[in-house]
């Protein structure tokens, strides 16, 4: 039996790349999946259904409390519960590397709105349903850059450092209610957006790979084992933790 049979998962930022890979993997393990993105992620939904899974596609703006409340309501109406939330939506792949004093205030605010407040809004929307069930798994997405102090993207690194603190504090608030809150911190993953972004030219990627104990590029599928572990009953005694998945560039 698949490890997530009977569970319902919600994945934000699931139209492509890592988010789509997360959604496909959860469905493969038996979960019914609500996939969402700023635009309707029909391709991800269709791929899950074509592979024999259950999926619902919802257009949702993670910075809008009304929009994410509708997302959760549609998932519960369609599938009957909300057991897993993967807070994957974020701004990264389209950002350019630049000194901190060249980051426009508007760009700073946009990164914080999506990466930090978006995680807050989606979590706040789903927790009432998880409380009513007496269980739930919230999986946030940070970044290995937090532990490196990576330069030239201060807004992104700051936003992902906030997610580590968010995970720890929320885990203590919700632990007594059967809701586990954990975090994955990927290294540089060669998603579609990263591959086409000139900021991640060959030298940057090569230097990143050179810093790893496992010296190869990371692919979205490299994150799946950790995702499924944090979603499944195997991790029921784990909360408040951030697991770095980057081939051993960061060790903490």
Where in the sequence numbering do the catalytic residues fall? 156
Q: Is residue 137 classed as helix, strand or coil in its secondary structure?
A: strand
Would you say 190 and 219 are in contact if contact means Cβ atoms under 8 Å apart? yes
Q: What does each C-alpha distance from 82 to 102, 179, 205 come to in angstroms?
A: 41, 12, 37
CA distance 141 to 160: 8
Phi-psi region of 64 (alpha: psi -120 to 50; beta: other; left: phi over 0): beta
List C-alpha distances in Å: 15 to 22, 34, 136, 140, 173: 11, 11, 24, 17, 31
Q: Which residues pair with 140 in a beta bridge?
A: 87, 183
**Taking Cα atoms as reference points, which of 193, 250, 176, 228 lies closest to residue 31?**
228
Q: Which residues contact 16 (CB under 8 A, 6 or more apart)?
A: 41, 43, 44, 191, 192, 193
């Amino acid at each position: 039996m698949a490890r997530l049979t009977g569970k319902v998962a919600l994945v934000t930022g699931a139209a492509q790349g890592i988010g789509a890979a997360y959604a496909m993997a959860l469905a493969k393990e038996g979960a019914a999946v609500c996939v969402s993105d700023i635009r309707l992620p029909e391709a991800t939904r269709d791929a899950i259904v074509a592979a024999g899974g259950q999926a619902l596609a919802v257009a949702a703006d993670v910075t809008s409390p009304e929009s994410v409340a509708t997302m959760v309501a549609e998932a519960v109406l369609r599938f009957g519960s909300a057991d897993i939330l993967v807070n994957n939506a974020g701004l990264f792949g389209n950002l350019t590397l630049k000194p901190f004093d060249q980051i426009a205030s508007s760009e700073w605010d946009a990164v914080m709105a999506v990466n930090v407040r978006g995680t807050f809004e989606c979590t706040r929307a789903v927790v009432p349903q998880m409380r009513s069930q007496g269980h739930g798994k919230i999986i946030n997405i940070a970044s290995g850059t937090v532990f490196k102090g990576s330069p030239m993207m201060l807004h992104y690194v700051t936003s992902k450092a906030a997610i580590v603190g968010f995970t720890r504090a929320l885990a203590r608030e919700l632990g007594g209610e059967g809701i586990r809150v954990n975090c994955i911190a990927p290294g540089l993953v060669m998603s579609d957006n990263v591959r086409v972004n000139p900021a991640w030219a060959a030298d940057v990627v090569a230097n990143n790979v050179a810093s790893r104990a496992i010296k190869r590029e990371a692919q979205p599928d490299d994150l799946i084992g950790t995702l499924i572990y944090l979603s499944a009953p195997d991790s029921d005694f784990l909360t408040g933790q951030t697991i770095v998945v980057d081939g051993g560039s960061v060790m903490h």
